[in-house]
């Protein structure tokens, strides 16, 4: 009888030890999970405090619009991106370096294509081969309407932006636009439109890729540059802009 009581006591003690171990393990796992959550919160808060160029909060792929255009500019598919860049280079060399005219190129291409298809269609009966199957090419109405609608919206937004800048509401935006137009006119006077367009294409295929690879270094340099620009703007504002006379503000109409 006494042995039976001792065995029950040992069994109860072992059961209590197992329960205590489970509780301790659960507590340690919860504490570790809470500590990991706090570490994640710290890392996210540190990432949010890091200066990003133009104050962006999204990755470069999302900033570029995502999808195939962003993949193209970030060289996700090197063959496609390289092919587009090589094609743009060939067009620039053909029209700018070799000074080939667009109308002459289109006409010569159509002449070669039509002559080749005509001769092959007539010669197929003599060489006992099936004539070439010329596909029916037609442009559907929907993509044309979508393109026209997007172009109209973009033009209207551009006109609205120019109107907002010309109204004198935002001096910083006005100076930025004037500086951008002056820089664009400077490059336009140095080269023709095709060279300028090709240069923009090369920049689009190189700058986002380099920035995506060296993001932290570029952002650090941009932060220092922005601090210096703000200092210089404050000096310019105090010495020049603040002394420009402005017209009286219109009083708001009382209801």
Q: 120-155 burial, b for 16+ CB within 10 Å, e for fewer? A: eeeeeeeeeeeeeeeeeeeeeeeeeeeeeeeeeeee
What confidence category does residue 7 fall into, taking pLDDT thresholds of 50, 70 and 90?
low
Query: What pLDDT is attached to residue 27?
Result: 47
Identify which of 222, 179, 175, 213 has the alpha carbon closest to the alpha carbon of residue 50: 222
Interval 139-167 mean pLDDT: 90
Query: Does pLDDT of 18 surpass 60?
Result: no
Give the residue, 144 or 33, on which the prediction is more confident: 144
Query: Does pLDDT of 17 surpass 80?
Result: no
Give the residue, 254 or 71, on which the prediction is more confident: 71
Give the residue, 21 or 134, on which the prediction is more confident: 134
Give the residue, 254 or 128, on which the prediction is more confident: 128
What confidence category does residue 255 fall into, taking pLDDT thresholds of 50, 70 and 90?
very low
Q: Measured in Å, how far apart are the chain's first and last C-alpha atoms? A: 98
Give the residue, 21 or 223, on which the prediction is more confident: 223
The mean of the pLDDT values for the chain is 77
Interval 162-182 mean pLDDT: 85
Torsion angle of C-alpha atoms 87, 92, 98, 99, degrees rounded to 10: 130
Of 4-18, 29-43, 107-121, 136-150, minimum mean pLDDT range = 29-43
Interval 144-161 mean pLDDT: 91
Interval 173-191 mean pLDDT: 86
Cβ atoms 212, 74 nearer than 8 A: yes
- pTM to 2 decimals? 0.56
Of 30-39, 104-113, 117-126, 140-149, minimum mean pLDDT range = 30-39
Instruction: For residues 204 and 65, give the distance between their C-alpha atoms in angstroms, rounded to a whole number.
Output: 13
Query: Does pLDDT of 195 surpass 80?
Result: yes
């Amino acid at each position: 009888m006494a042995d039976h009581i001792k065995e029950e006591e040992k069994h109860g003690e072992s059961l209590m030890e197992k329960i205590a171990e489970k509780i301790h393990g659960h507590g340690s796992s919860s504490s570790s999970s809470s500590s990991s959550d706090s570490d994640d919160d710290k890392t996210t808060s540190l990432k949010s405090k890091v200066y990003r160029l133009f104050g962006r909060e999204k990755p470069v792929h999302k900033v570029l619009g995502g999808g195939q255009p962003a993949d193209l500019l970030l060289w996700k598919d090197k063959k496609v991106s390289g092919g587009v860049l090589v094609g743009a280079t060939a067009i620039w060399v053909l029209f700018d370096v070799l000074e080939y005219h667009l109308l002459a190129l289109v006409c010569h291409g159509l002449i070669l294509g039509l002559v080749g298809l005509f001769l092959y269609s007539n010669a197929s009966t003599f060489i006992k081969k099936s004539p070439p199957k010329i596909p029916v090419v037609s442009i559907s109405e929907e993509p044309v309407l979508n393109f026209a609608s997007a172009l109209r919206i973009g033009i209207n937004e551009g006109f609205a932006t120019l109107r907002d800048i010309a109204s004198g509401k935002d001096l910083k935006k006005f100076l930025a636009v004037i500086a951008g137009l002056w820089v664009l006119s400077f490059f336009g006077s140095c080269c023709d439109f095709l060279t300028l367009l090709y240069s923009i294409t090369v920049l689009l295929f190189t700058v986002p890729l380099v920035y995506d690879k060296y993001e932290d270094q570029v952002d650090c340099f941009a932060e220092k540059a922005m601090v210096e620009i703000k200092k210089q703007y404050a000096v310019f504002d105090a010495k020049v802009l603040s002394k420009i006379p402005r017209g009286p503000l219109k009083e708001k109409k009382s209801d």
